[in-house]
């Protein structure tokens, strides 16, 4: 809830910054491809027969992503955008031995609203920076393969997220433009699972600490 309030407040402040202008919006649609990375952290604690263990491990999922987006230039310097961004099953962890192979993958689907302020260096080039907020669905897949077959488990969590972005824009002509952007999103998902059996008890926590993406997008303005 705290993250939701922070993100909504940030977007609200951004939107009020353009309220004093006479708006004559220019709309656009586009898409892009990018390099995506996400930091995943796992913690576990176990108590059995009077002894306790705890540990923490971090892994990074890396891979390609693609996005589609639409939005409007409220003025030449103020832009709002809706983006749908998708990654594949990016590998977090993999280990194999003579008995089998274990893998762990993370897939992210983001649905974001953002605001950018553009500073023009000349008629064709601009730098921009802004804020973004929305929802992200994190899908974690655990898979184990051995001679007996494949055992697979998926956990899906949809959470609110927010972040920042910076980039540069090149205006190809009056209708087409290209953006090179880096976006950083803060912690989105943290899930804890407690267990108790005849041998002891424990707690496992899985957290997507942050994710980032470098994207090249092309937009058509109308």
For residue 10, which phi and psi values (nearest 5 degrees)?
-65, -45
Nearest of 82, 65, 66 to residue 28 by alpha carbon? 82
- pLDDT for 3: 53
Which tokens is 139 given?
């899908």
pLDDT band at 164 (very low <50, low <70, confident <90, very high): very high
- Specify which of 2-11, 42-51, 165-174 reaches the highest per-range mean pLDDT: 165-174
pTM for the structure as a whole: 0.79
The pLDDT assigned to 195 comes to 65
Segment holding 12, helix H or strand E: helix 2-16
| Domains of the chain listed by start with CATH number | 2-15+27-221 (2.40.160.20)
What per-residue confidence (pLDDT) applies to 215?
98
**CA-based diameter of the chain, in Å?**
72
Q: pLDDT per residue over 53-112, tens digit each?
A: 777 888 899 999 999 999 999 999 999 999 999 999 998 877 777 777 888 899 999 999
C-alpha 208/C-alpha 59 separation (Å) is 10
């Amino acid at each position: 809830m705290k993250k939701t309030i922070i993100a909504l407040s940030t977007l609200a402040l951004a939107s009020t910054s353009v309220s004093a202008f006479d708006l004559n919006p220019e709309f656009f649609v586009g898409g892009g491809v990018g390099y995506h990375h996400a930091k995943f952290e796992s913690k576990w604690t176990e108590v059995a027969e009077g002894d306790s263990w705890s540990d923490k491990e971090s892994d990074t999922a890396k891979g390609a992503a693609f996005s589609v987006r639409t939005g409007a230039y409220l003025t030449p310097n103020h832009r709002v955008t809706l983006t749908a961004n998708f990654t594949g099953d990016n590998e977090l962890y993999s280990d194999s031995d003579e008995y089998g192979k274990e893998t762990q993958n993370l897939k992210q689907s983001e649905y974001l609203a953002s605001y950018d302020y553009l500073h023009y260096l000349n008629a064709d080039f601009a730098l921009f920076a802004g804020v973004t907020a929305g929802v992200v669905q994190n899908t974690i897949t655990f898979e184990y393969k051995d001679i007996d077959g494949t055992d697979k488990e998926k956990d899906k969590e949809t959470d609110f997220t927010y972040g920042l972005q910076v980039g540069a824009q090149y205006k190809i002509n009056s209708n087409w433009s290209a953006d090179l952007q880096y976006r950083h999103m803060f912690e989105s998902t943290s899930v804890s699972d407690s267990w108790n059996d005849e041998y002891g008890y424990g707690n496992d926590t899985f957290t997507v600490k942050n994710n980032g993406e470098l994207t090249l997008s092309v937009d058509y303005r109308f």
